[in-house]
């Protein structure tokens, strides 16, 4: 009996082994019906791998195309169909393998471009390196769902100088000796170049081009063309007989501009560069990457207009007072227009009205946002002496029961501040802490000190602020009297 059981176990093991390994044996025996090849090239800053179908002998319905690549140098971006309608397709990218699976009802029965794989790459350190692409074709079926096979041939690509980006230029803008300078520098260079053309676009309404200078790594001669009417500058660089190709990093060109401070302050200017017609020392065409730059004419905040705010309870209102604390060169630059915006908690407060104060001059209008914001627009037609001091007051209605114990925060901004020049405005928001009911002295506790304070008020020995009166009616009977002090003491006893 034991021998019989052992025989049955051996037979079962043999059958299981055959079941597992039979598909592998059969897979090797599937007939090959086509040959897939691949080639790689640069296209629009992508490294592209074409997968081509050759020697096709059947009508392909489904397939799985996998391209293996070096994911330390490349990143898969997307794929595109070639000459055929592949039907339903999807892609997976994992561990340096980009795999496209497809299934169509229109059999593919001829040769042609099957798929295009697009890869991105970093210019840094890529040139001179070789990348290999391993091509696999799997799970091919033809009509009647017959499983077949195909051979596949991978490819390689060498990043040569001239195949793509040869240099990376950066730019910066700054003030130097009362002139605005736009400086172009070489951040990285992968080889060398002997000629190029630099185009610079600038704001000709704010800036006037003065001159340019060749910098430390510039080699050869240069020629300038400037069109002030359209705000364009063109500098062409080329080698002379005694110069060497450009091959180092560093400052390349400096462009100098004049400007009128009275109109420039507060403005933002862009410098847009492009670099074309680059050739290396071997005469091959190449490309360059360039980063644009910008500059904001900012005045010194210490000499600019400044607004501050404070909040307090005044009767039935929470009031936020805006003050104009400082003017930018007040004896010369007088505010003619500005927008003051106050942000508040619309769930606890309801805007009621605002008032112009002593330092506010001119006409005003306001806009109320739906998200708890108010903007008051000041507009003046004439320049007259501005005053510092109280500028605006905002009044808000509140529900007493809702704001007890809350901290009300107010954000303040002032922008579009226009005077003889555009100036900046420093602003500071504020907050108002509403004490808990019975906490008259604001020490975050309700104790005998609050009861004593309340009794002094009732007997005429002490005045309470509106914020204190807000939390003094402890028993909520509408009057403030000894009963409220008694309530505080009863709370302590409990």
Domain boundary among 133, 158, 183: 158
Residue 441 belongs to some domain of the structure: no
- Calculate mean pLDDT across residues 249-258: 93
152/172 same-domain check = no
Residue 333 belongs to some domain of the structure: yes
Which of the four pLDDT bands, split at 50, 70 and 90, describes residue 464? confident
pLDDT, position 475: 79
Q: What CATH number corresponds to the domain at position 198?
A: 2.60.40.680
* Residues 160, 158: Cα–Cα separation, whole Å: 6
pLDDT, position 84: 92
- Calculate mean pLDDT across residues 151-161: 84
128/178 same-domain check = no
pLDDT, position 419: 53
| Residue pLDDT, tens place only, 69-111 | 999 889 999 999 999 999 888 999 999 999 999 999 889 989 9
pLDDT, position 151: 92
7/92 same-domain check = no
pLDDT, position 24: 37
pLDDT, position 277: 85
199/244 same-domain check = yes
116/235 same-domain check = no
pLDDT, position 339: 83
Q: pTM (2 decimals)?
A: 0.40
The lowest-confidence range among 36-45, 139-148, 390-399, 432-441 is 432-441
Domain boundary among 136, 158, 180: 158
Residue 443 belongs to some domain of the structure: no
pLDDT, position 13: 37
C-alpha distance from residue 146 to each of 30, 142, 342, 433, 478 (Å)? 10, 5, 73, 79, 91
Tokens of 179: 């002139």
Average pLDDT, the chain: 81
190/232 same-domain check = yes
Q: Is the pLDDT score of 305 beyond 80?
A: no
Residue 439 belongs to some domain of the structure: no
- Calculate mean pLDDT across residues 167-175: 90
Q: Is the pLDDT score of 262 beyond 90?
A: no
The lowest-confidence range among 12-26, 47-61, 191-205, 213-227 is 12-26
Residue 92 belongs to some domain of the structure: yes
* Residues 416, 176: Cα–Cα separation, whole Å: 27
pLDDT, position 135: 96
Domain boundary among 158, 174, 189: 158
Q: Mapped to the 3 state alphabet, what secondary structure does the chain carry?
A: CHHHHHHHHHHHHHHHHHHHHHHHHHHHHCCEEEEEEEEEEEECCEEEEEEEEECCCCCEEEEEEEEECCCCCEEEEEEEECCCCCEEEEEEEECCEEEEEEEEEEEECCCEEEEEEEEEECCCCCCCCEEEEEEEEEEEEEHHHEEEEEEECCEEEECCCCCCEEEEEEEEEEEECCEEEEEEEEEEECCCECEEEEEEECCCCCEEEEEEEECCCCCCEEEEEEECCCCEEEEEEECCCCCCCECCCEEEEEEEEEECHHHHCCCEEEEEEEEEEEECCCCCEEEEEECCEEEECCCCHHHCEEEEEEEEEECCEEEEEEEEEECCCCCCCCCCEEEEEEECCCCCEEEEEEEECCCCCCEEEEEECCCCEEEEEEECCCCCCCCCEEEEEEEEEECHHHHCCCEEEEEEEEEEEECCCECCEEECCEEEECCCCCCCCCCCCCCHHHHHHHHHHHCCCCCCCHHHHHCCCCCCCCCCCHHHHHHHHHHHHC
376/391 same-domain check = yes
C-alpha distance from residue 208 to each of 128, 211, 231 (Å)? 43, 10, 9
Selection from 420, 480, 489, 424 nearest residue 456 by Cα: 480
292/169 same-domain check = yes
Residue 290 belongs to some domain of the structure: yes
337/385 same-domain check = yes
Domain total in the chain: 5
Greater confidence, 398 or 432? 398
Domain that holds residue 61: 31-158
Half-sphere exposure of 380 (CA within 13 A, CB side): 18
Residue 442 belongs to some domain of the structure: no
Percent of the chain with pLDDT over 70: 83
Which of the four pLDDT bands, split at 50, 70 and 90, describes residue 304? low
Q: Is the pLDDT score of 117 beyond 80?
A: yes
Greater confidence, 110 or 454? 110
Residue 384 belongs to some domain of the structure: yes
224/254 same-domain check = yes
410/324 same-domain check = yes
| Residue pLDDT, tens place only, 353-386 | 998 888 777 778 888 887 788 888 877 655 554 5
265/198 same-domain check = yes
pLDDT, position 369: 82
pLDDT, position 171: 94
Pairing mode, strands 305-314 and 232-238: unpaired
Residues near 90 by beta carbon (within 8 Å), at least 6 away in sequence: 100, 101
């Amino acid at each position: 009996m034991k021998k019989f059981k052992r025989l049955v176990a051996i037979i079962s093991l043999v059958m299981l082994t055959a079941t597992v390994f039979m598909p592998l044996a059969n897979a090797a025996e599937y007939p090959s019906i086509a040959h897939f090849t691949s080639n790689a090239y640069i296209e629009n800053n992508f490294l592209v791998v074409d997968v081509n179908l050759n020697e096709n002998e059947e009508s392909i319905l489904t397939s799985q195309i996998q391209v293996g690549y070096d994911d330390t140098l490349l990143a898969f971006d997307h794929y595109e169909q070639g000459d055929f309608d592949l039907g339903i397709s999807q892609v997976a990218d994992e561990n340096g393998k980009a795999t496209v699976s497809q299934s169509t009802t229109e059999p593919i029965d001829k040769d042609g471009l099957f798929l295009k794989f697009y890869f991105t790459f970093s210019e840094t350190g890529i040139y001179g390196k070789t990348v290999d692409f391993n091509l696999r074709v799997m799970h091919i079926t033809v009509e009647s769902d017959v499983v077949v096979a195909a051979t596949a041939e991978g490819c390689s690509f060498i990043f040569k100088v001239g195949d793509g980006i040869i240099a990376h230029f950066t730019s910066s803008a700054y003030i130097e000796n009362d002139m605005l300078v736009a400086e172009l520098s070489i951040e990285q260079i992968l080889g060398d170049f002997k000629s190029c053309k630099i185009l610079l676009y600038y704001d000709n309404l704010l800036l006037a081009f003065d001159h340019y200078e060749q910098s430390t790594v510039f080699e050869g001669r240069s020629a300038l063309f400037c069109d002030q009417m359209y705000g364009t500058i063109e500098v062409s660089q080329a080698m002379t007989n005694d110069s060497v190709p450009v091959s180092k990093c560093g400052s390349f060109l400096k462009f100098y501009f004049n400007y009128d401070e009275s109109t420039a302050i507060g403005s933002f200017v862009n410098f847009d560069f492009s670099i074309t017609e680059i050739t290396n020392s071997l005469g091959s065409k190449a490309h360059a990457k360039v980063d644009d730059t910008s500059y904001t004419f900012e005045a010194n905040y210490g000499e600019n207009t400044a607004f501050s705010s404070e909040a307090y309870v005044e009767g039935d209102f929470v009031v936020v007072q805006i003050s104009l604390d400082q003017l930018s060169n007040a004896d010369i630059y007088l505010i003619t227009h500005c927008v003051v915006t106050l942000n508040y908690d619309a769930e606890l407060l309801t805007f009621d009205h605002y008032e112009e104060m002593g330092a506010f001059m001119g006409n005003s209008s306001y806009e109320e946002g739906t998200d708890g914001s108010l903007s008051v627009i000041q507009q003046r037609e004439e320049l007259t002496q501005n005053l510092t001091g109280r500028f605006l007051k905002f009044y808000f209605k509140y529900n007493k029961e809702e704001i007890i114990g809350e901290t009300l925060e107010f954000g303040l901004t002032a922008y579009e501040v226009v005077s003889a020049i555009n100036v900046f405005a420093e602003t500071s928001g504020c907050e108002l802490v509403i004490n808990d009911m019975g906490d008259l002295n604001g020490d975050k506790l309700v104790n005998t000190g609050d009861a004593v304070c309340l009794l002094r008020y009732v007997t005429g020995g002490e005045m309470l602020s509106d914020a204190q009166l807000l939390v003094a009616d402890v028993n909520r009977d509408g009057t403030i009297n000894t009963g409220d002090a008694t309530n505080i003491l009863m709370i302590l006893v409990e």
